[in-house]
Structure 1
Amino acid sequence: MRPTATLLESLPETQGEILRYLKAQGSTTLAGLADRLNLTREAVRQHLATLQEEGWIQRVGRLKSLSQGRPAAVFALTPAGDHLFPKFYDSLSLEFLDTLADNFGEEAVRTLLAALTDKQVARWETKLRGLSLPERIEALTGIYFEQDPYTHVEQDERGYLLVERNCPYLNLALQRPQLCSVTLATLSRLLGVRVRREAKFQEGDRHCAFRVLADQPLEPDYRFSFETESPFHRD
């Protein structure tokens, strides 16, 4: 089976070039990018605005101009932007999961991911104990925000939606989506209700969005399941 393309490869060509240039150079200005890409400054400015909104680049300072003009903003990758580029540990983790499945079966993978879920729940559940669902969502968002400042919660007529832009194992999850089951199971257990993914990096979205189904309480003995299984895979 052909591996899923990385998110970086699926971006518009110019945005990908900007990210690769920042990865190679460390930082640069709008003018530097315009010269490098042979584009107008306005075109580059629009791409930079999009990449900033996605949380993949940031302003890191200003470069003093040789003329009397304003200092130029300097841009660099954010940790989330840097993680778009494959890492050695991505390949190592992928080989580990495949070796585990090949030698011990999918149930061994399930056991491993369930244990990872247990560990995450144990780390955070004491901070949520005794709180109402809205209070848990607020506290959990704060916990996630410490790791990913681009995480936020939206509220609409259907309830709460947790939006995550900086997946901690993005490149690995693009090729082995079952890893996302850990996040779903962890959120469900911490909130005490079913959670469903409505937007996915794997489907071309630039984020994952988790719908909190407040009217669907989780079974008390629930531990873990893959995203394609109950309680996640149903209406």
Structure 2
Amino acid sequence: MTAHDYAWIRSSPLFRHALEAGYTLTLVRDVAPGAVLRVMEAEPQGVCTGVDPLIGRQYELLDATDYRDASFIAGAFTVPGESGDWTVVLRFDGGGMRPRFVEALSSKGGRAVVHSSNGGKPIDLFHWYEDGKLRTTFEWPTAREGSAPGTLNPVMREVGFDLSDDEGDTGAPVDTKAAVLALAERLTGVRVTEELLRDAEYQLGQVPEEPAEEWNKIVIDITDADGERFYKEVTR
């Protein structure tokens, strides 16, 4: 699979909505949809057939909370892939997948792959987790991070990424989002198609807003243009 095999995303109404509204697509090996949603601390919301009801439930949630709540609706279903079954988790609000969820879902020899866009003026991200650890992540393919940022270089080149830092490169442009989907397939064996996402039977769950972190101190440290410094610690 290469970026060419995912050229369909540019003529897909579903994927156009995903890019405009924001989306996160997560693939998890050998963890059933219900178990994935439990790890995500989701409250069960029944089952729906097709992606349109999933999108509709997300908008209903946003309307009910007047867009002020960061909770979201996730839909999950199972497909066969490399070395077992994979659960596909889809959400439409561009909030990404919380790292602690993916770490837990990929622990004990597991694997998880996540790609997302936050919509609008997008930040497009890719994450590959193995055995509970983030192996490779990037927004730009030439600026990779993680515990093994270079491991995927050969397969990234094969699917179409240009990993050179040469600004004068005149090679054919690559659709990086299509290349990300091809890379995800290489890591999972799951071919994502419009039909797969459009017609799946989704188990639904409402994932609550992440609680605010507790704090007991803040530090104000400001130096003005004349070199005068103001420093103060405020303790709760």
Above 0.5 in TM-score?
no
Smaller-chain TM-score bracket: under 0.3
Structure with the bigger RCO (C-alpha within 8 Å, sep 6+) is: 2
Which of the pair is proportionally richer in helix? Answer: 1
Query: TM-score of the superposition, structure 1-length normalised?
Result: 0.23
Which of the pair is proportionally richer in strand? Answer: 2
